[in-house]
C-alpha cells in the first residue's frame, strides 16, 4: 500500500469527479444558461427594439446578464459537497486545499462559463452589437468569466453553511464584480469604435492572474470557517 502524493493526480481526480456528477445532473448546466438567454431577451422588450439603442447598450446587457448567471450558477458550487460531508473530507485530505478548490472552480467554469461564452455571439446578434465588437466580446468573456467564478467562489464558500445564502451572496460578490464589468464593457465599446482594446484585455488578464493566485487561499480559509 503505497501513498504517493501527486498534485496533478488530486487535481484531475477532483476535476473528473465534478464533471462526471454534473453530466449526470444536467439541469445544473442548462438552467444558468437559460437564465442568461432569457434575461438578455427581456431587454429589447423593456427598452424598445430600435437597433441604434440596442447596439449602444448591448455590451452592458450581455455582461450584466453574464454576471447574474455566473452568480446564480455558483450558488451550488460547494452546497452538495457540504451537505453530504465530502467537503470535510476535502479539508482533511493531505492534498493542498487551494489546489482542490481550484479544480472545483475550474470544473464549474467549464460547465457554466464556457457554454455562456459560446452562446454570447448569438445573443449579440439579437441585440445588434456592432460588427467590430464580436472579437472583443468573446475575448472579454473568455478572460472575465473565470475571474467571476473565482471571486464568486469566495462568497459561496463563506455562505455555504448558511440556510439562506442566496440574497446574501449577491450582496457579497456583486460589488467585487464591478471592475471586471467596467473594463469588459468598455473594451467592447472601444472595439465598436475601431479603437485598440488590448489595454483593457491586459487589465482583465491581470485581474485573472491575481485572482488565480489569491482567490484559492481565500476560498480555502472561508471553507474552513464554514465547516467549523
166 binds other proteins (CB under 8 A): no
Whose Cβ is closer to other proteins: residue 44's or residue 165's? 165
Whether the Cβ atoms of residue 111 and residue 22 lie closer than 8 Å to each other: yes
Q: Which are the contacts of 91, defined by CB distance < 8 A and separation ≥ 6?
A: 97, 223, 224, 227
Counting contacts by CB under 8 A, is residue 145 touching other proteins? no
| Residue 6: CB minimum distance to other proteins, A | 7
Of the candidate residues 31, 95, 98, 132, the single one contacting other proteins (CB under 8 A): 95
Measured at the alpha carbon of residue 20, what is the angle toward residues 172 and 108, in degrees to the nearest 5?
Answer: 20
Binding mask 46-85 for other proteins (x = CB under 8 A): ----------------------------------xx-xxx
DSSP string, 126-176: HTT--GGGHHHHHHHHHHHHHHHHHHHHHHHHHHTTSS--HHHHHHHHHHH
Whether the CB-CB separation of 54 and 41 falls below 8 Å is answered with no
Give yes or no for a contact between 40 and 81, defined as CB atoms under 8 angstroms apart.
no
7-15, 31-39, 54-62, 67-75 -> range binding other proteins (CB under 8 A)? 7-15
Contact status: 127 vs other proteins (CB under 8 A): no
CB 123 within 8 A of CB 106: no
Specify the residue, 14 or 188, whose C-beta has the smaller distance to other proteins.
Answer: 14
Give the whole-angstrom CA distance, residue 61 versus residue 207.
22
* Given 70, 133, 140, 159, the residue binding other proteins (CB under 8 A): 159
Report the interface residues with other proteins, using CB under 8 A. Answer: 1-6, 9-10, 13-14, 17, 20-21, 24-25, 80-81, 83-96, 100, 154-155, 158-159, 161-162, 164-165, 168, 171-172, 174-176, 178-179, 182-183, 186, 207, 214, 218, 221-222, 225-228
Amino acid at each position: 500500500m503505497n501513498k504517493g502524493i501527486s498534485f496533478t493526480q488530486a487535481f484531475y481526480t477532483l476535476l473528473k469527479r465534478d464533471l462526471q456528477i454534473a453530466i449526470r445532473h444536467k439541469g445544473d448546466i442548462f438552467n444558468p444558461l437559460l437564465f442568461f438567454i432569457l434575461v438578455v431577451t427581456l431587454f429589447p422588450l423593456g427598452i424598445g427594439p430600435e437597433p441604434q439603442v440596442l447596439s449602444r447598450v448591448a455590451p452592458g446587457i450581455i455582461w450584466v446578464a453574464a454576471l447574474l448567471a455566473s452568480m446564480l450558477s455558483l450558488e451550488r458550487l460547494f452546497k452538495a459537497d457540504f451537505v453530504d460531508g465530502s467537503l470535510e473530507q476535502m479539508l482533511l485530505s493531505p492534498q493542498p486545499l487551494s489546489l482542490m478548490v481550484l479544480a472545483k472552480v475550474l470544473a464549474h467554469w467549464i460547465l457554466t462559463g464556457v457554454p455562456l461564452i459560446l452562446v454570447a455571439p448569438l445573443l449579440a446578434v439579437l441585440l445588434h452589437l456592432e460588427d467590430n465588437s464580436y472579437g472583443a466580446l468573446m475575448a472579454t468573456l473568455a478572460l472575465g468569466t473565470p475571474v467571476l467564478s473565482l471571486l464568486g467562489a469566495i462568497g459561496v464558500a463563506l455562505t455555504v453553511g448558511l440556510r439562506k445564502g442566496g440574497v446574501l451572496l449577491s450582496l457579497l460578490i456583486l460589488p467585487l464584480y464591478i471592475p471586471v464589468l467596467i473594463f469588459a464593457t468598455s473594451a467592447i465599446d472601444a472595439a465598436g469604435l475601431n479603437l485598440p482594446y488590448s489595454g483593457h484585455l491586459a487589465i482583465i488578464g491581470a485581474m485573472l492572474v491575481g485572482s488565480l493566485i489569491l482567490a484559492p487561499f481565500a476560498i480555502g480559509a472561508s471553507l474552513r470557517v464554514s465547516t467549523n
